């Protein structure tokens, strides 16, 4: 009998319909939780996927059932050929979206619209200009904040990613939620996650439980509404009664959502990561450049996916630097 199992279905029955493609390893910000202070060793340009290679690889994934592609980085918008990449990917039958730090997104509004990119996730960790500079090492708060307002005005569906860290921005939880009173945006608080070189410490992380304790001590019980999460959503979504927007928590550390994971990641140098936390990678780009089929490589990578967080199935294992330092830095994965 012919085995008709999709190459995107893993050994735990999870179908992978969502591909996140990192376009570039470089970024125009230097967020300390994402990029090690000493920087990262960049791949030579010739080792990065070209726009044609990105398209060809994406086309194969779409053929096997990928319905959603998110572009990320580094900062995807600093890639010079971003218009060409968007135009090519827009010809595929997928929902295209992008994650950006929004520093230069105002220059890309037209090209995003032309290619039906309506869903934009932007990263903004503080509403305080000084703190923004402290975490990103760049004085770009005004630009990012005005671009956030511009995206809303231009009718994009905007989500704002906030990585919370104790003693740094955990006192801004309510200020962020209050933005949703008049803005139809979704704030997503992300638990600080460990990656190579980011000096992760469990004590710096603000947990889902702590975030909700802060919310529940600020608003009345009947004002905090738990929303229904979309299928495969990584966020536990809430809103404050009467507010235009919503907020949520991505609890990858304290409450992982691996059972419903439908994501695969492709790094800018053409490696598949079957999990954000996986130590192993599978080289698609070399296979493609050798003129061979990439399908067997994809299948093997999907079959090798662990049930939980790249095999770090307990908080103790995740805390073990020997284990999480086998992974890349987030800047070269893309979130
Ligand atoms: N440059 C783009 C940006 O800033 O959104 C895209 C790449 S960035 C790596 C993607 C997302 O990963 C950002 O929202 C960022 O906050 C998140 N991120 C990076 N390092 C993280 C960490 N250690 N824990 C949790 N989220 C992290």
For residue 34, which atom of ligand 1 is closest to its CA? 20
Using left for φ > 0, alpha for ψ between -120 and 50, and beta otherwise, residue 307 falls in alpha
Please choose, from the candidates 27, 14, 56, 44, the residue with its C-alpha nearest in 3D space to the C-alpha of residue 333: 27
Q: Give the tens place of pLDDT for each residue, 241-251.
A: 999 999 999 99
Mean pLDDT throughout 138-147?
98
DSSP assigned state of 42: P
- pLDDT value at 276 more than 80: yes
Name the residue with the closest Cα to ligand 1, atom 12: 335
- pLDDT value at 1 more than 50: no
Name the residue with the closest Cα to ligand 1, atom 10: 335
pLDDT at 3: 56
For residue 75, which atom of ligand 1 is closest to its CA? 1
Q: Is the CB of 189 under 6 A from ligand 1?
A: no
For residue 73, which atom of ligand 1 is closest to its CA? 7
Query: 68-72 and 282-283 as β-strands: parallel, antiparallel, unpaired?
Result: unpaired
Average pLDDT of the residues of the chain: 95
Q: Is the CB of 268 under 6 A from ligand 1?
A: no
φ, ψ for residue 301, nearest 5 deg: -65, -40
Q: Is the CB of 327 under 6 A from ligand 1?
A: no
Q: Give the tens place of pLDDT for each residue, 72-93.
A: 999 999 999 999 999 999 999 9
Q: Is the CB of 33 under 6 A from ligand 1?
A: yes
pLDDT at 328: 82
Which residues 6+ apart lie within 8 Å of 223 measured at CB? 240, 241, 242
Q: Give the tens place of pLDDT for each residue, 25-44.
A: 999 999 999 999 888 999 99
Give 166: exposed, middle or buried? Use CB within 10 Å, 0-12, 13-18, 19+. Answer: middle
CA distances from 183 to 38, 172, 244, 247, 283 (A): 37, 17, 6, 11, 42
Residue 188 Cα to ligand 1 midpoint, Å, equals: 12
Mean pLDDT throughout 293-320?
92
Q: Report d(CA 253, CA 260) in Å as an integer.
A: 15
Mean pLDDT throughout 274-278?
93
């Amino acid at each position: 009998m012919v085995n008709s199992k999709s190459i995107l279905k893993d050994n735990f029955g999870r179908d992978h319909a969502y591909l996140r493609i990192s376009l570039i390893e470089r970024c125009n910000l230097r967020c300390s939780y994402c990029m090690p202070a000493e920087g990262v060793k960049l791949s030579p340009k010739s080792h990065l996927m070209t726009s044609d290679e990105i398209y060809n690889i994406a086309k194969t994934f779409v053929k096997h059932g990928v319905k959603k592609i998110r572009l990320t980085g580094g900062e995807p918008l600093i890639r010079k050929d971003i218009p060409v990449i968007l135009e090519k990917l827009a010809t595929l039958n997928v929902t295209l979206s992008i994650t950006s730090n929004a520093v230069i997104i105002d220059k890309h509004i037209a090209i995003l619209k032309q290619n039906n990119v309506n869903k934009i996730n932007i990263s903004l960790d503080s509403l305080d200009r000084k703190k923004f500079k402290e975490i990103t090492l760049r004085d770009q708060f005004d630009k990012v904040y005005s671009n956030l307002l511009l995206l809303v005005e231009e009718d994009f569906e905007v989500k704002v990613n906030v990585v919370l860290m104790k003693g740094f921005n955990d006192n801004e939880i309510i200020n962020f939620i209050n933005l949703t009173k008049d803005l139809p945006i979704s704030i997503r608080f992300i638990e600080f996650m460990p990656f190579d070189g980011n000096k992760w410490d469990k004590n710096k992380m603000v947990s889902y439980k702590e975030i909700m304790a802060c919310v529940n001590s600020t608003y009345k019980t009947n004002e905090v509404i738990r929303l229904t999460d979309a299928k495969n959503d990584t966020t536990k979504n809430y809103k404050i009664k009467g507010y235009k927007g919503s907020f949520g928590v991505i609890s990858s550390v304290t409450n992982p959502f691996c059972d419903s994971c439908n994501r695969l990641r492709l790094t800018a140098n053409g490696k598949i990561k079957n999990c954000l936390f996986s130590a192993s990678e599978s080289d698609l780009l070399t296979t493609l450049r050798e003129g061979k089929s990439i399908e067997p490589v994809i299948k093997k990578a999907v079959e090798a996916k662990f049930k939980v967080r790249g095999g770090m199935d307990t908080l103790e294992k995740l805390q073990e630097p020997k284990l999480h330092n086998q992974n890349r830095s987030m800047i070269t994965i893309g979130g």
